[in-house]
A and B are shown apart, each in its own frame.
Chain A
């Protein structure tokens, strides 16, 4: 009986609502306005962070510590670097994010978008380094490669010789064909898809770096920057380079199951899975913490976050959060972010970054 009344009740309510179509729209609008107001009151106080999935683990760790120490609520969203900049630069009102994380520097176009939407001053904060590693299964052969080998293995088109920059389709199928010292296994790499910040960094640092070491490509760089970047940024499409999903744990599993394959990902996954995979030495340097910190390991990128200066007065705790993020307890040597894989900046750089946050010095491009 209760069931019957319930069904009848809801159904007839819906029917009545459907009859008075015009009124419902008005009612809905009013409720949404009311909801908006309350929502703003309730979430306006939170510090909102968006952006890179690479910085996400570090940002959430700081959010958690900060919440415990001060009671301020921080909501961190993982949207990817590009998505983060888009949201961040969409405007300056209270509903837009206060901070965006980025695993690369803000692009000129993104900065211009910020200017166009009157976002106002933006403070750039560098938090540390992250190494990008090429790794294979722990019991597979050790790879000692140069950046040039990496470029030769993965570029879609490569120069015919060091001096002749007539492009040809990449002919290599085995590592040993590129460099006799490399193992004679077929080239097969799993790496991040083009939407990922890790991919951007990989092509900019490793592929461009490798291309530059070819004499005629270095000349091309001087003559035609665009053509150079086009060549270095285009990876093979013949199945030797495979865009793996964003899930790096699955990638580690793939490498264990396919000992001939190499994978490209962030240093923290190598650090956590050292019993399953090992990193390739690049230009004679192993992807180890000390080497990345000292700048000896070449495939490393900087991680950043960007603060909306106008929100410092609007969002309580925002500057304090940024200060916590740049404190020695967090990003310093032995800090809690180092424990989860962030490589700290040199002392002098850290002091400079700290000063930027204290004074909220805006940056420009």
Chain B
């Protein structure tokens, strides 16, 4: 006769086996989470490690003499004419005066290269354009140092590399060190990165236009996708007859959520640009394309939220005499609200990271101005990151990482907000 008690040797063995299984499963689970965390940590460390230095930049405070003989030899004060004046000469004069002993032409050129040529000239140009009365005065202005000097002082350009193999000469290193001692070059918070639109010069490039472009795209996408997505879900779930046709639609919506995003870009190109004749590179079209991209996500999230509401609530409402519509809109929908919102915010976060569809509709572009409306050319943050990462100058590396940090912070904020909102709305009930 076999022993069936729970303390027999066979039973204990089985118990041990079961516990061993459980233990192994836990170990696997922890290993999986540990791996995910390690990957995340590696990503964050490598990006923050290269990117954090971009939040500071080396600036030069210089004294510029805006002499009339150079800027306005004919005595004009017309801002439009003053735009084309020779500001480069003014900057050159100032730079040469820093080290008056330099006379050689090539050395002078190198000396001029310490400052951001286009940063300094444009700053002066803007100041004179806004206030032509400045001509004839001597003013103190802070301008960015050139990207090479910035990279040198941050340690990205190694001093022990052979002179012929680096972009900064020994002479320039000596000058930069002297100017740093004199207090002319100072490291400050890099406002340019946040306030400026894109620029070809790393030391002048910022993410302002890309961030605003991204915000516009998201707003358009949300305004279009949220009502359509939620409306479609409610109708399909509550009002549509259950037949082959609605099954077919359901399968298609689920499929749509899994379609590679570049396909939506092609669709946008064919329909919005070629057929409807809308202009390229505008946030309106970008938003419309991304609305197509996120609306299936929102529909699916809404449907699962609606299905998660206890049927007894609708039954109760119906038994008290509410119509079907009343029961759905007044009882079921508010209860599904947190789920719908979370799904939508996660969908929007997805849209924020999209680059591929924007490629097709011409948003991979260089735009020199912060867009004022959704019909002005703009670019988006992930596109800007893509363009920067492919530029040759060394200084782009840290700026690319800095832009990625900003994108990640925005994404974390959005997802965090979704969680906070869900918890808050669930508590209120």
Contact = CB atoms under 8 A, between A and B. Distances in A.
A235 B393 CA distance: 30
Contact of A8 (B109, B158, B333): B333
Given A67-B368, A68-B122, A69-B84, A35 B375 contact: yes
Interface string B414-428: 000000000001000
A77 B166 contact: no
Given A60-B200, A138-B165, A274-B164, A95 B230 contact: no
Q: Which of B122, B226, B377, B389 has the most CB of A within 10 A?
A: B377
Given A272-B167, A275-B165, A36 B393 contact: no
B231 A11 contact: yes
Contact of B365 (A67, A77, A247, A271): A77
Given A36-B276, A76-B365, A57 B230 contact: no
A248 interface: yes
Contact of B377 (A38, A43, A64): A43
Contacts of A325: none
B392 A78 contact: no
Contacts, number: 158
A13 B365 CA distance: 36
B278 A7 contact: no
Given A7-B334, A10-B226, A32-B278, A39 B284 contact: yes
A349 interface: no
Contact of A73 (B167, B227, B368): B368
Contact of A12 (B157, B329, B368): B329
User: Which DSSP category, helix, strand, loop or mixed, fits chain A's interface?
Assistant: helix
Interface stretch (A14-22, A214-222, A353-361): A14-22
Interface string B378-398: 000000000101111110110
B334 A46 contact: no
Contacts of A111: none
Contact of B334 (A4, A38, A274, A336): A4
Contact of B284 (A35, A271, A275): A35
A46 B362 CA distance: 14
B371 to A, nearest CB: 10
A336 B118 contact: yes
Contacts of B161: 275
A340 B200 contact: yes
Contacts of A74: 368
Contacts of A50: 362
A42 interface: yes
A159 interface: no
B61 interface: no
B376 interface: yes
Given A4-B337, A32-B276, A269-B392, A65 B118 contact: yes
Contact of A43 (B200, B230, B375, B397): B375
Interface string B157-181: 1100100111100000000000000
B278 A35 contact: yes
A95 B83 contact: no
A363 B139 CA distance: 49
A71 interface: yes
A57 B376 contact: no
Contacts of A75: 281, 365-367, 377
A95 B285 CA distance: 14
A339 B365 CA distance: 22
B76 interface: no
B392 A57 contact: yes
A50 B273 CA distance: 16
Contacts of B387: 78
Interface string A145-168: 000000000000000000000000
A48 B368 CA distance: 12
A100 to B, nearest CB: 13
B228 interface: yes
Residue with the greatest number of chain B CB neighbours at <10 A, chosen from A36, A61, A249 = A249
Contacts of A4: 334, 337
Nearest to B421: A3
B307 to A, nearest CB: 16
A341 interface: yes
Nearest to B336: A7
B237 interface: no
A109 interface: no
Interface string B235-258: 100000000000000000000000
Contacts of B280: 48, 77, 95
Contacts of B362: 50, 77, 79
A69 to B, nearest CB: 6
Contacts of A273: 392, 394
B269 to A, nearest CB: 11
A65 B279 CA distance: 25
B277 interface: yes
A268 interface: yes
Interface in B142-196: 157-158, 161, 164-167
B125 interface: yes
Given A15-B234, A67-B368, A272-B167, 4 more contacts: A10-B226, A75-B281, A75-B366, A249-B392
27 contacts: A3-B337, A4-B337, A7-B334, A10-B226, A11-B227, A12-B329, A14-B227, A32-B278, A36-B276, A39-B284, A39-B375, A40-B279, A48-B280, A57-B391, A67-B369, A68-B83, A69-B83, A69-B84, A70-B83, A77-B280, A77-B281, A77-B362, A269-B392, A274-B166, A334-B109, A336-B117, A340-B393
